[in-house]
Amino acid sequence: MNYVDGFVLAVKAENRDLYRRHATTAAGVFKEYGALKVVECWGDDVPEGKLTSFPMAVKREPDEVVVFSWVEWPSRAERDEGMKKVMADPRLQPDVMTMPFDGKRLIYGGFEVIVDV
């Protein structure tokens, strides 16, 4: 079964186009190194919670939007190999590509798919 890397982050609303360009470039690199699919979602209905929520998790500021994204891989092994290449790729290095978000507030993790309907 496939493997998924998930991401939640906050992006300044005014940086939507910049983020889209960044995400499009990154998606091409992920796909080049074996990802099956890359999905980027701009928050539209992301409520504040009382105990937990996406906005609380990323410490969203008033001028920011929550972004939810995932990368689908054929397997954990292919993800591990592909991710090494992605992280080393010069096109995604901070000195080449401006990060349109605060990476310190990025939440990410790898997930084994257990239901896919």
Question: pLDDT of 54-80, one tens digit each?
Answer: 999 999 999 999 999 999 999 999 999
Residue range 3-112 forms a domain whose CATH class is alpha beta
For the chain, which ranges sit under pLDDT 70? Answer: 96
**Is this prediction's pTM over 0.85?**
yes
Domain ranges of the chain: 3-112
Q: What is the pLDDT of residue 22?
A: 93
What are the distances in angstroms from CA 93 to CA 2, 6, 97? 27, 20, 6
Residues contacting residue 48 through CB under 8 Å, at least 6 positions apart: 55, 56
